[in-house]
Structure 1
Amino acid sequence: MLKTSLLCLAFAVSFFLNAQDPQSPTEFLGYELGTRFTPHHRMVDYFQYLNQKRPQLIKLEEYGRTYEERPLIMAFVSSEENMADLEKIRREHIQSTEGLGNPNKAIVWMSYNAHGNESASTEAAMQTVYELMTEKKGYLENTVVLMDPCINPDGRDRYVNWYNQFGNNETTIDPNSKEHHEPWLNGRPNHYMFDLNRDWAWLTQQESQQRIVLYNKWLPHVHVDFHEQGVNSPYYFAPAAEPFHEVITDFQRDFQMTVGKNHAKYFDSNGWFYFTKEIYDLLYPSYGDTFPTYNGAIGMTYEQGGSGRAGLGITTNNGDTLTLKDRVTHHIATGLSTLEVCANNVERLNSEFKKYYKNKDYLYKSYVLKGKRDYLERLAELLQQHEIEFGIGKNTTVKGYDYGKGTSGSIRANDNSLVVSTQQKKGTLVKVLFEPNAKLTDSLTYDITAWSLPYAYGLEAIASETPVANTRTSAQEFIRSRQERMPETSNDNAAYAFLSDWDSMKDAQFLADLLQSEIQVRFAKKPFSMDGKQYNRGSLIIARADNKNNVEFIKQLRAVAKKHGKHITPTATGFVEGGKDFGSASVQFINKVKVAVLSGVPTSTLHFGEIWHFFEQQLHYPLTIIDSDYWEEIDLSDYDVLILPDGDKYTQFLDETALRALKTWVEDGGKLIAMGGALKGLIQEEGFGLTAKISETDSSTMVPVYDETVRQQINKAITGAIFRTKVDTTHPLAFGYKDTYYSLKLGHTAYNYLDEGTVVYLEKENTKPVAGFAGTTARKRIADTLIFGVEAHGKGHVVYMVDNPLFRGFWENGKLFFANALFLVD
């Protein structure tokens, strides 16, 4: 009897404890939320605790891992009834994209901490989910919330760990205190210094690639991205600023207004300052608000004043104290307000979402793309990640807008072409990513104004106003179709040499692997013909004689070729049918170069990261990172190549002594690759031949009108526009390219042609961009200026890159220039 009573008592205690509300973040963490920064693993602990405490209300899914092996988690939160039918709700919702079913739940995705040092949002996520599971349960009756509490764990922990090391025991609100000044390697980007809020469309980063799988599985009605801005700004929320992309629907605009007015109600009642319809526009497609918008959602960015500068508390310009508690409170308010609006508009969200996915009558019904097969395959892989349907062309001539000509033209579609239609579920996204030139309702934008994928991938393209017949395929099938057509390469141990083409990033990866396998490789500086086939400049020649001491040569070569899907052609002789024989001085060795890159001030973290990621995740070639803190202690003679990433403080960093050391190193055989802002540091007096372009407009005496200053200044700006440039295809820097290259120009800084070695350049007649915005004054300044060039100094070279061929990792057609600079310029 006693035993039974004890069991009943234990059951009653257990029931009582489980019936209680779960602990708040403050109770669980052991400190008041907002008085300390919570490390990522402790945030994960809290969500796991909630899942254990209330599994009927919350479900966790680890959807991936960061580069530093931190978990990426998604919390699904809804009512007990909805959670029991979660998969059914998802299926019914996705069916609405096909015009089927009658779903009756709102799907709301909330993303926090895309920028790691915008740290208030993850703290807010913990309190928001707690509120939803307790006082705000009513919102969950007809709403499913997907909450990603930290998109960027690596960046967040970088910031939190730094702050916890340097923050004072007593919060110091003086902005001059060290805790308010992050170091160069700050917490904003991810491991590779990439901005994850600009990678939604391009999917260059591991976090983005893993997230898109889950995003496509759910395609929410509403997506909110929580951010922070400067400490002296109040709170920003929707509606967004112009320009809105033309595909954005009236409903999407209206609902932003509805949400914004609801937020304003709460902010007004608390006397909190805010602004709307300014700064943050809806154009560039790779943001956490625009990308969801182009997938049918109401995409919104919320920006709290603060960021990494704010710490736990800071004095603002108006003398107020901004605390982490304040920042967290405001994000909680807009998060819950959003869910309130969604819960009250479920029927409208569902009906408009279904309407969004009906076929749109866009001007261009199909995009037909031809060109280098490697780039077509790379594009196919990106399209597949986005679940965009595409097909192989059929033998037919297609007329339409010719991207190369800028006017009407035609192209012959065949089984080596891709056709992408706007008449599909993801048709709007197709239009946005492929349209020749996005329509601008306002030239004042927050980011670049051009990104069209045919230009980014260097492909011939026609935008057709009529549907183009094609056979649907997948990226795997498209890649396999080429491999199946490749001729069998005999394992000819008697071959004199093996030949391989050179015209894509894939070829550069193949070469990098060969060099690291200690296989000797040459390249042709002149075109040649062999065995009835024409080989272009840059073609790789892997000779038996160069590898005679490697008994595993053939086996290793075959293995590397198979790994990269490369066809290598054996030849029995070095006597060419046309051009230069393999023993000619025009056939040069490719050295296994030792490469270093500068990091720290004066470089840009983001542009340094583009180079780091390029080497480690794309080229797969070793890279030594040298920090500016100990730069003067390094013996540069240990390195063959030194890369100076873009940055804005080179004129101070490269003083007379540093310039002299660089010049001596180059003259002794070093290769310097200078990018973007680094060029400004080389136009001083140490013998580098680069000169800045100075135009008449630089000395303008026009007096600015007080209220029009920004619009006057935009006339001098280039906001990420695409230009048609000319290429000297005979120069090793340009091997693998045709005589036209479409360059993404990010500013108006311009340099004159080099006396010798101007390889890619912008002619006066091409200063009107093929896509994007460039002010009239800026266009005059960039006329007849350098894009990429090479200057010889003694035994070495300087490679100048005015534009950035590695920008955000998505400008695929620029990457071979960088590989050429590494391996072929000599």
Structure 2
Amino acid sequence: MKQILLTFSFFWVILVFSQELKSPSEFLGYELGTEFTPHYRVEDYYQHVASTRPEQVQLQTYGHTYEGRPLLLAYLSTAANMKNLEQIREEHLKSLEGNSDAEKAIVWLSYNVHGNESVSTEASMQTIYELLTSKSSYLDKTIVIMDPAINPDGRDRYVNWYKQYRNRPNQVDPNSVEHHEGWWSGRSNHYMFDLNRDWAWLTQVESQQRLKKYNQWLPHIHVDFHEQGVNEPYYFAPAAEPYHEVITDFQRDFQETIGKNHARYFDANGWFYFTKEVFDLLYPSYGDTYPTYNGAIGMTYEQGGSGRAGLGIITREGDTLTLQDRIAHHLTTGLSTVEVASKNAGLLNESFVKYYKDRSYKYNSYVLSGNRDQLDALADLLDQHQIKYGAGTGTNISGYNYRQQKNGSSKADASSMVISTDQTKGNLVKVLFEPNAKLSDSLTYDITAWSLPYAYGLETVASERLVSSAAYKKQDTSGNSLDKATYAYVSDWNSMKDARFLASLLQQGIKVRYSQKPFRMEGKSYERGSLIITRADNANQPDFIKRLGDTARQFSKELVAVSTGFVDAGKDFGSSSVELILPPKVAVLGGEPTSTLRFGEIWHFFEQQLEYPLTVLHADYWNRVNLDEYDVLVLPDGRGYKSILDDKLRERLSSWVSQGGNLIVMGNAISALSDTPEFSVKARKMEGDSTGNSVKPYGEGEREYIKNAITGAIFKTKVDPTHPLAYGYGDTYYTLKLGNDRFEYLDGGTVVYMKDETKPIAGFAGSQAQKNRENTLIFGVQEKGRGNVIYLADNPLFRGFWENGKLFFANALFMVN
């Protein structure tokens, strides 16, 4: 019996020892910071932590990336707090209603939103270990939520690339290839989107899945861990101006409190850092601003290094910056953040309640009307943000009219959408819907305009009064029944929903026509671009009616049955003005010199929004591809096109277009074709600055530079709605302008353009930049032989959120023949 007890005790000791929490270095089998850890091993470590400390850690898979990698959240605190985790969450959320007795601080730490800013995931493993061991006292009054890798696809892309190209031992010489990533770096996600600019727009699955969990907690503090240039010292809060005006004094002051605590540790170690520069709090779709607009202390922390640094690199000062150095810095600020939160839990809870109680706005309701498809698309976005909205009740309203840019009156009827600030997400409503964000400083890190009424192309009135509303109902055509004896079915064309419907039909082999002229028949009027699906065109498809009906229901499309092809006004269905849409075979150029972000927007547009096949041709070999196999070729925005578009290749493109190809050229790619014999687009010369001969102080150089800059501003432009590129649009389009390239009107085919209204209606544009906007091309089409060159000087697909621009791109694919 004694021997049995000894044996049991021995195995019990082994079991307990085997379940002891290991440090990252012990678990991984190498000193943390001497290798990059692939995502599956990061997941293994977090599983180890959760299994050895189940009373203190809960690990949750909250979704998966486009490439199938799991997205993880780790919740950690004391055993007592974790036992009551759901009650703590529910009590915390009562703060939104102003009656909470919450006592715990909620801190959310997000790592590796940019995949090649890879130190932060490494630092997260050491951070969770320290919080459970040496810094466990910080957890008494704190719930910590950790996302170890927001962007595991990008992170693994970088880690795998580095393992492939690194020297052994690693080479600190910055000229070595291990410090020079290729065209597709690890920064972005699968579709090359910048996830740190997607918090508000939610175009990517990572963002969509994360926000569901974020809205369940709405933490007091959110930190987004980043890296910047190799030679930069560490950056932490407080942030730079401009701050958006909804940011409270407490949020500003608490950033200072946290920053001073960080500084205490950095000073003790002799580490360099800076604050209040570069990284502002304005653009709403960052990992610091979006949480801030939801009541948090939202902050970005930036460590020098990024994908350039590898495991170690010599800086311009001659010092060697190692991955272990970078881990130490992010570890320090992460722990310091939790420390400050734990010491100020009461203050954070008290101030969080005030954030949601003490609010006042100039505009209390936004009334939007117009294209119902666009309203429904906006409703889908609002649902994800848990922003409430309703339908108008016939109330007469007065307020600021966005299109007229002055006060006016309107009616909030049942076809309009009403969004009021009198709700939990009131501050976010103001930020996303206000006509023009107030700028305390024109020097910003990102775009300065994003107002959703312009992005969705909707008529909007901002009212100073609360406008009553009823339940808003999205369109539903589930009861739309079709008769196989019907002559034809007609559908409108004015939104991305229509484009998706068309794309689906074409891929099923269903033949579709479109009208180049307005027409009227059987008591109803139809605009240019209207889709016409005839029984005769699809006579050889026995299941045509079923598939058409199923597709219409899938996209909530109303189809109008017509009994004849004889119209009352316009062109009959047999006219040459009613043309068959041939399904185009589309290719896009990738690789240098295209921009990965701009390429990714096109890739995502085809696969995730339009759901239409796309062939990617890489710049390394595209000059050997037989372009005759493709109907459409897209050249994304990018720098350096002239390096690949030599005279011979340019002539080849010209010949391909003349023989019937459609070439879509975007942004800076246009510059490589401008002022050449083969293409008619011409760059517009910039007018000189009248102050050019004056002496300017050196210290004002940056201010002088921005006189010629446009930092993401919204401009009102004119549209020729009779052109196929503009089918579905009216005579006005609001464009988001990001650069300063300018092109002359085309001799024929100028479709969207700026005339003499050159002042932005929202956002910042320098005084000299405004002067150079007169008489410039936005979108246009050059007819060339049997084909066309479509010039898109501005980006209608920018970050996937400029909804009202997307139909231009669809028109370029399907309507321009």
TM-score (norm 2): 0.98
Which amino acid in the other structure matches residue 5 of structure 1? L
Q: Which moved more, 1:5-14 or 1:427-436?
A: 5-14
Matches of 2:128 and 2:387, distance apart in 1: 33
Match of 2:533 among 542, 550, 559: 542
Tell me, yes or no, if structure 1 residue 588 matches structure 2 residue 579.
Answer: yes
Q: Could you tell me whether the CA contact under 8 Å between 2:666 and 2:793 is conserved in 1?
A: yes
- Cα shift readout 1:650-701 (whole Å, capped 9, x = no counterpart): 1222111111111011011100000001111111423211111112227945
Structure 2 match to 1:447: 446
Which amino acid in the other structure matches residue 745 of structure 1? K
Q: Could you tell me whether the CA contact under 8 Å between 1:805 and 1:818 is conserved in 2?
A: yes
Matches of 1:251 and 1:164, distance apart in 2: 45
Shift of 1:472: 4.2
Structure 1 match to 2:125: 126
Matches of 2:719 and 2:363, distance apart in 1: 30
Structure 2 match to 1:507: 498
Aligned length: 816
- Cα shift readout 1:132-188 (whole Å, capped 9, x = no counterpart): 010000000000000000000000000000000111111111111111110101100
- Within 5 A, what are the aligned runs for 1:237-636? 237-358=236-357, 360-473=359-472, 478-479=473-474, 482-483=475-476, 489-636=480-627
Tell me, yes or no, if structure 1 residue 711 matches structure 2 residue 710.
Answer: no
Q: Could you tell me whether the CA contact under 8 Å between 2:749 and 2:780 is conserved in 1?
A: yes
Matches of 2:576 and 2:437, distance apart in 1: 48
Q: Which moved more, 1:599-608 or 1:679-688?
A: 679-688
Shift of 1:411: 2.1
Shift of 1:102: 1.0
Q: Secondary structure at the match of 1:779?
A: helix
Matches of 2:798 and 2:812, distance apart in 1: 16
- Cα shift readout 1:551-579 (whole Å, capped 9, x = no counterpart): 22112211211111111112111110000
Structure 2 match to 1:671: 662
Q: Could you tell me whether the CA contact under 8 Å between 2:657 and 2:788 is conserved in 1?
A: yes
Shift of 1:48: 0.1
Change (3 A) 1:359 1:546: farther
- Cα shift readout 1:578-617 (whole Å, capped 9, x = no counterpart): 0011111111111100000000001000000000000000
Change (3 A) 1:703 1:751: farther
Q: Secondary structure at the match of 1:269?
A: helix
Q: Could you tell me whether the CA contact under 8 Å between 2:108 and 2:223 is conserved in 1?
A: yes
Tell me, yes or no, if structure 1 residue 761 matches structure 2 residue 760.
Answer: no
Q: Secondary structure at the match of 1:483?
A: coil
Q: Could you tell me whether the CA contact under 8 Å between 2:514 and 2:578 is conserved in 1?
A: yes
Shift of 1:4: 4.7
Which amino acid in the other structure matches residue 433 of structure 1? L
Structure 2 match to 1:657: 648
Matches of 2:57 and 2:686, distance apart in 1: 62
Matches of 2:337 and 2:313, distance apart in 1: 28
Match of 1:732 among 705, 724, 729: 724
Shift of 1:490: 4.6
Q: Could you tell me whether the CA contact under 8 Å between 2:265 and 2:332 is conserved in 1?
A: yes
Shift of 1:784: 1.2
Matches of 2:140 and 2:648, distance apart in 1: 69
Q: Secondary structure at the match of 1:582?
A: coil
Change (3 A) 1:706 1:512: same
Which amino acid in the other structure matches residue 751 of structure 1? F
Structure 2 match to 1:692: 683
Matches of 2:138 and 2:11, distance apart in 1: 31
Structure 2 match to 1:17: 17
Q: Could you tell me whether the CA contact under 8 Å between 2:313 and 2:320 is conserved in 1?
A: yes
Q: Secondary structure at the match of 1:570?
A: strand
Q: Which moved more, 1:544-553 or 1:69-78?
A: 544-553
Shift of 1:16: 4.7
Structure 2 match to 1:781: 772
Q: Could you tell me whether the CA contact under 8 Å between 2:650 and 2:678 is conserved in 1?
A: no
RMSD of Structure 2 on Structure 1 (CA): 1.3
Q: Secondary structure at the match of 1:787?
A: strand
Matches of 2:457 and 2:19, distance apart in 1: 61
Q: Could you tell me whether the CA contact under 8 Å between 1:392 and 1:471 is conserved in 2?
A: yes
Which amino acid in the other structure matches residue 351 of structure 1? E
Match of 1:747 among 734, 739, 743: 739
Matches of 1:490 and 1:222, distance apart in 2: 52
TM-score (norm 1): 0.97
Which amino acid in the other structure matches residue 260 of structure 2? K
Q: Could you tell me whether the CA contact under 8 Å between 1:521 and 1:540 is conserved in 2?
A: yes
Matches of 1:538 and 1:8, distance apart in 2: 81
Q: Could you tell me whether the CA contact under 8 Å between 2:636 and 2:666 is conserved in 1?
A: yes
Q: Secondary structure at the match of 2:620?
A: helix
Q: Which moved more, 1:693-702 or 1:155-164?
A: 693-702
Structure 1 match to 2:632: 641
Matches of 2:278 and 2:408, distance apart in 1: 38
Matches of 1:337 and 1:363, distance apart in 2: 38
Q: Secondary structure at the match of 2:501?
A: helix
Matches of 2:167 and 2:364, distance apart in 1: 60
Tell me, yes or no, if structure 1 residue 812 matches structure 2 residue 811.
Answer: no
Q: Could you tell me whether the CA contact under 8 Å between 1:749 and 1:782 is conserved in 2?
A: no
Change (3 A) 1:166 1:702: farther
**4+ runs deviating over 6 angstroms:** none
Q: Could you tell me whether the CA contact under 8 Å between 2:366 and 2:418 is conserved in 1?
A: yes
